[in-house]
Amino acid sequence: MVIVLVVLVVVVLAVVVALAARAGARPSTRLAWRTPGLVPPISHDLQDRVRELCSERKKIHAIKLVREETGLGLKEAKDVVDALEAGRPVPVDVPGEPSARRLDLASRVRQLKADGRTEQAIFLVRGETGMTQDEAETFVDAL
């Protein structure tokens, strides 16, 4: 009887984990900048420090700094550092002005929809809320 109960508990836990994984649940981690293709605003101070590190041939340190300050992934941080090193523009975070980073989820979804990026808007909603595909699609369509 005890063995049957233990097996039943294990099966129930396995089903719960499988359903959570299927629904797109993730471990709770720090949500960084998650909108693919959009770079978070970078302060002038951070840009200056990155350029200084690049001029000192410390590009790896510059990438680490960008990752720490913005929460970007490795590839995105490298792209930002490469852009700054090459003199290309990156979004600037101006104190007092609303930045894309501070926009609520609905505003970011509206921006993506306006740009014709509905699938990315759905992905964003799923990633930040844990909604199912159908729930996220309904949310995005309602905006």
The per-residue pLDDT for range 78-125, each reduced to its tens digit, is: 888 988 888 877 765 545 544 444 567 778 888 888 888 888 888 888
Q: How many CB atoms are located within 10 Å of the residue 97 CB?
A: 9
pTM to 2 decimals? 0.43
pLDDT tens figures, 20-70: 666 655 544 444 445 555 666 778 888 889 999 999 999 999 999 988 887
CA 51 – CA 57 distance, rounded (Å) = 10
Per-residue tokens: 21: 């994984």
Q: Can you say whether the dihedral through the CA atoms of 25, 27, 33, 36 is positive or negative?
A: negative
On whether the CB atoms of residues 90 and 42 are closer than 8 A, the answer is yes
pLDDT tens figures, 3-13: 988 888 889 88
Task: Enumerate the β-bridge partners of residue 42.
Answer: 92
In Å, the largest CA–CA distance within the chain is 71
Nearest CA to 116 out of 42, 37, 34, 39 is that of: 37
